[in-house]
Structures are given as structure tokens and as C-alpha cells.
Amino acid sequence: MSKIDGSYLIAKSLKNEGVEKLFYLMGGPNYEIVNNSEDFGIDTYDFRHEQAASMAAHAYTRVTRKPGVTTSASGPGTLNLLTGQYNAFIDCAPMITLGGAGPISDFGKGGFQEIDQLSIFEPISKEVMRPTDPLQYPESISRAFFIAQTGRPGPVYIDCNEDILYKKIIKENIPPYSKIDLNSPSKIDPDLITQTCKYISQSKNPIVLAGGGAWWSHAETELADFVENLGVPFYTTPISRGLIPDDHKFSFPGARSTAFRECDLVLIFGTRLNWVMTFGNRISSSAKIIQVDIHEPEIGNNRSVDIGINADVRDVLIQINRNLGQINGNVNQWKKWREFLQSIDEDRKEKVSSLENSNQTPIHPLRLCKEVREFIDRDAILTVDGNEILHYGRQSIPTFYPGHRINSGPTGCMGVGLPYAIGAKIASPDKQVVSLHGDGSLGMNIQDFDTAVRHSLPMIIVVSNNEGWTARTEGTRKPGRELGFTRFDLIAEALGGYGELVKDPKDIKPALERANKTGLPSIINVHTDPTARALSRFVGSKME
């Protein structure tokens, strides 16, 4: 009879769950999880820092809608995964984190790197597990994948203790593998669908707000059908950018604030009324709200709703689309409303045109965004990280495909851009991947540019280098703001990639084109105006 250990069972279980990539930083006691995973044909990617590994796994999840998997050494190694886990938890991303841990038999003795990792990860995990027998690993892994992906998605943490990982067991004693079915259609009250259609029919100024719930439920086709058949203006959260192309005829991004202020009905498909939406206060106080969310506690949280539907977004949209005949109207019903929002949107574009075409030096960030916008492929994956550049990029660079735009999300976490680009390139090796980065945030995980080089992951990091954190404001004290002008382009060269410094706006696009041709991970270091301050929101006009 042949013998195996717990590490083998974890790797085999990952393979059974369809895992294709593993993100990690080497160390004990998880060596053999990685070795066995490679033996099962899983591609493994080692990083310079565990935080970057977790963030890359998060991006992989955001692009593929499949759980990214990380593993790391015990104690400090596993705790370095915390920021990535927290970001994924708030982002509702289904990840699996396999944290190396000391022997259970040493608990309470002051063992090497002994710390209660389970308790630390519990507040930022959908579920935490600590198998105490290697034979439990197949069931634990299967449950973890099921929990991570059902209901409102989220990361699951599994404590992988040394004595359990290395315990020998007889291979023939392994229980049969049983994968849990993820498909469980929502039960939707047909009366709620009828009421929803009635509210839409009676509305004069409706809008759609689609969020992560629409993305995770694969609802892009159904959402587009709804919007196009009715002619309802739509807005998305960062995670759902591209569910419908940003250049769609019913998309008016520059009129976002006006739309929320002037609307009389908002259909919220799978997003929280959190701080991003000023806890619902951004929406007109007189507007009716229809909220669809798979996580029941979110319905009516922070703002009362007129109709709440606790179900999967895609299932609800399918039902609404089947009942569009109940709506007394057609695509021209809200023509005046759309024309009003379009005029605001065009006015906003006109106002920023001079900055987008400015020849000033240091370069204005909007000119940089314009050059990036005109350079990238339509189906490029763009990651955005920073403060000023995050807002400028959000306002001026569109996204046309779902899963092709990844930013820090509702946590505002910095340092994600480069790791996100790595994870995105691993997820979609045939797509152009560009990261629009602030210089402060790039410094957080710059060491993992080496990871992109070692694993031959061509991508372009475009740095809006304004010499520090946030915009420099005359007369305002900002301790620690000044970072000086970091030569990230030289760092790229030192680590084996391509780097170029740009100080003149006319040189941006040629530099991007040269970087693209090298086939190497690249950093284009652009000196931007330290005083340029992005407004997080644009204020529109009142509707006459």
C-alpha cells in the first residue's frame, strides 16, 4: 500500500476543483503543496512578497471569475497575505487562501512562528477552516470552493498546519472525491417582477446602477438586453465597468452625479449603498429604489427601498426581460431624459478637452490619460492604482469588456496596480495589460516587477509621477507628501525589463509604442504636474 501526505491531498483537491494557477512565496511548511501542485499540472507563480501574491490572485479572480489560490509560509508569511485578503473580502471576490501554520501539537508551547492565524483571518474571510486530519482536506477544499463562490462571494481561509500537512496516510484510505454543485437557481416572487415592471413604466427619469453582483453572476448579456430594449441610462461601479461598453449610446459617464440627483427611479443590480454612494444619499431623496442583491442583509441597508429582491442578479434580469411587455412604453419613452444627460456628458468632455490636449510641462495627468486611452487596445485590461491618477483615469479612460478594468475597489487600497497587472496577465496572456500607476503606490510593491520579468509576463506600467502622495497644495501642510522624483524607469532596467523616462507630452505615445514592441515588462515613467488635483466627482446641472 502506498503512502501520501496532507500536502498531496491538498494539491489533488485543487486539481479536482479545476485550479490552473497557484500564487505563492516559498517557505515552510507549504513546500510540498507547491511541489505536488506542479506535479498535478498546476502552473505556479512565485512572488517577492506575499502581499503581491494575494493581490495578483485577486486580479486573476476578477478577470476569470474563478477563485485565485494563494499559499505561503507560516507566521509572518501568512500574515503578509492579510491586506490582499481584506481587499478581496470587501470586493466580494472568491479566493482561497492556504496559510502555512505551525504544528497543532505545539500550540500553547511558544512554537516557531506560533500565532492564531485562524482568529486573525476570521473577520476578513467568508469562512475559516483548520482541518485536524489530512483526510479532511478533500472535503475542506471542496467546501471552501463552494462557500467562496455561492451567495455573495468572498475569500475562504484554510489553516494548513505542519503536522497535518506532513502526516502520512495510506492512499487507498482516501475517501471518494465529491464536488459540490454550484448551480442553485433563485426563487423569485413573480409579484415582485410585476411590481418592478410597473415602477419602470411609471418612471420619467429612470437609471440603472449595476455592481459586482451583476459581474459575478455573469449577467452582462441580460443587463445589455434590458438597457437596450428600454433605453434606460446605465451606470456601473468600478468592478462592473465593461458589462456594457462605456461608449454605449445609453452611457453618459460625465453626467453621473446629475443622473443620481435628478432621477426618479434607480434599479440597483448587485451593489451596496456604501460610502461610494454616500450611503444612498447620493440618490435623489424622492426617487424610488428597486434593489436586487443575493445577500439579503444588503437590501435596504443605509437607505430604504421600495422593492427589494433577494436573488441572483442574472436570474432576476432574465425574469424582468421576459416580462418587458408589461411596461407601457418603448425605447423612446425616456428620450428627453437621455438627451439631457447626454448634454451634461458632452459639456463635461468639452470642459476637460483643453487639459487633455495640454502641452504643459510637467505633464497634466489628463493629457497622460488621453495618450493612454488612444494607445491601448479596445480589449486591453487596465489596472489603475493611486490617488489623483485613479480619479483622472476613472473619468477619462473607458472600458469596453467585462473584467477588463481593475482598480483598488471600495477599500481604496494602494499598491495593487502592479500585482493586479501580473494576475491579469496570468489570467489572460493574450490580452494587452496596462497599469496606470501613481508613483507613491508603485513604490509599495515595485519589487514584484521582478516577478513579471522572471515569469515573462509582458505588460506596461505607466507611472503618473507627481513626486509624491496626493497633489501638492500651496498653503496646506501634508506631512510625508514629498517623495522626490523616483527613477522607476531605471529600476525597470535594473530588474531586466524595459524602462523609459518621459517629460514632454508628445513623447508619451512613442514611448508606449516602443515598450509594446519589446515584449518585456516595461515601466514608462511620466513626469506629471505635482499640483494637478482630481475632483472625485463632477457636478452637473439641474434638469429644466
The confidence score (pLDDT) of residue 334 equals 92
Q: Please state, in angstroms and rounded to a whole number, the distance separating the CA atoms of residues 156 and 67.
A: 10
Question: 2 pLDDT band (50/70/90 cuts)?
Answer: confident
> What are the tens digits of pLDDT across the range 90-111?
999 999 999 999 999 888 888 7
Least confident of 64-68, 187-191, 260-264: 187-191
Residues 255-260: what's their mean pLDDT? 94
Residues 489-510: what's their mean pLDDT? 98
The answer to whether residue 489 scores a pLDDT higher than 90 is yes
Look up cell 479532511; give the residue.
Answer: 136
Q: Please state, in angstroms and rounded to a whole number, the distance separating the CA atoms of residues 267 and 391.
A: 25
Residues in the chain: 544
Q: Please state, in angstroms and rounded to a whole number, the distance separating the CA atoms of residues 38 and 207.
A: 48
Question: 330 pLDDT band (50/70/90 cuts)?
Answer: low
For the entire predicted model, the pTM comes to 0.94
- SS3 letters for 6-47? HHHHHHHHHHHCCCCEEEECCCCCCHHHHHHHHHCCCEEEEC
> What are the tens digits of pLDDT across the range 165-180?
999 998 877 877 777 7
Look up cell 483598488; give the residue.
Answer: 408
The confidence score (pLDDT) of residue 373 equals 97
Asked if residues 206 and 305 have their Cβ atoms less than 8 Å apart, the reply is no
Range ranked top by mean pLDDT from 78-82, 254-258, 275-279, 347-351: 78-82
Question: 24 pLDDT band (50/70/90 cuts)?
Answer: very high
Helices within 311-387 (DSSP H only): 313-322, 335-356, 365-375
The answer to whether residue 35 scores a pLDDT higher than 50 is yes
Of 356, 376, 354, 358, residue with least CA distance to 509: 376
Write the single-letter amino acid at 512: L
The answer to whether residue 542 scores a pLDDT higher than 50 is no
Question: 537 pLDDT band (50/70/90 cuts)?
Answer: very low
Which residues lie below 8 Å from residue 494, measured CB to CB, with a gap of 6+?
none
- To the nearest 10°, report the CA torsion of 324, 330, 333, 334: 70
The confidence score (pLDDT) of residue 283 equals 92
Mean pLDDT of the chain: 92
Residues 74-89: what's their mean pLDDT? 96
The answer to whether residue 183 scores a pLDDT higher than 70 is no
Q: Please state, in angstroms and rounded to a whole number, the distance separating the CA atoms of residues 409 and 217.
A: 18
**CATH architecture group of domain 190-341:** 3-Layer(aba) Sandwich (3.40)
The confidence score (pLDDT) of residue 110 equals 85
Domain boundaries, the chain: 3-173, 190-341, 357-527
Q: Please state, in angstroms and rounded to a whole number, the distance separating the CA atoms of residues 156 and 143.
A: 10
The confidence score (pLDDT) of residue 209 equals 97
What 3-state DSSP class applies to 178?
Answer: coil
Question: 374 pLDDT band (50/70/90 cuts)?
Answer: very high
What letter would DSSP give residue 175? Answer: P
What backbone phi and psi angles, to 5 degrees, belong to 234? -130, 155
Residues 462-471: what's their mean pLDDT? 93
What 3-state DSSP class applies to 465?
Answer: strand
Residues 354-369: what's their mean pLDDT? 95
Q: Please state, in angstroms and rounded to a whole number, the distance separating the CA atoms of residues 493 and 487.
A: 10
Asked if residues 265 and 290 have their Cβ atoms less than 8 Å apart, the reply is yes
Question: 294 pLDDT band (50/70/90 cuts)?
Answer: very high
The confidence score (pLDDT) of residue 174 equals 81
The confidence score (pLDDT) of residue 535 equals 65
Asked if residues 206 and 338 have their Cβ atoms less than 8 Å apart, the reply is no
The confidence score (pLDDT) of residue 538 equals 36
What letter would DSSP give residue 211? Answer: -
**CATH architecture group of domain 3-173:** 3-Layer(aba) Sandwich (3.40)
Question: 89 pLDDT band (50/70/90 cuts)?
Answer: very high
Structure-model confidence comparison of residues 408 and 126, the more confident one: 126
What backbone phi and psi angles, to 5 degrees, belong to 156? -120, 135
Work out the angle at residue 159's Cα, subtended by the Cα atoms of residues 155 and 160, and round it to the nearest 5 degrees: 125
Half-sphere exposure of 143 (CA within 13 A, CB side): 13
Strand ranges in 187-336 using DSSP code E only, listed in sequence order: 206-210, 234-236, 265-269, 288-293, 307-310
Question: From the CB of residue 195, how many other CB atoms can be counted at a distance below 10 Å?
Answer: 16
Write the single-letter amino acid at 271: T
Q: Please state, in angstroms and rounded to a whole number, the distance separating the CA atoms of residues 542 and 292.
A: 28
Residues 220-228: what's their mean pLDDT? 96
What backbone phi and psi angles, to 5 degrees, belong to 51? -55, -45
Query: Would the CATH topology of 3-173 be identical to that of 190-341?
Result: yes
The answer to whether residue 249 scores a pLDDT higher than 60 is yes
Residues 509-524: what's their mean pLDDT? 98
Domain 357-527 in CATH 3.40.50.970: yes
The answer to whether residue 544 scores a pLDDT higher than 50 is no
The confidence score (pLDDT) of residue 540 equals 34
Strand 168-170 with 3-5, pairing: antiparallel
Question: 210 pLDDT band (50/70/90 cuts)?
Answer: very high
Residues 136-158: what's their mean pLDDT? 95
The confidence score (pLDDT) of residue 364 equals 96
- Hey, what's the cell of 238? 468600478
* C-alpha pair distances (Å), 36 with each of 10, 14, 42, 134: 9, 10, 9, 15
Work out the angle at residue 25's Cα, subtended by the Cα atoms of residues 20 and 31, and round it to the nearest 5 degrees: 80
**Bridge partners, 129 (sequence order):** 158
What letter would DSSP give residue 420? Answer: H
The answer to whether residue 431 scores a pLDDT higher than 80 is yes
* pLDDT above 90: percentage of residues in the chain: 82
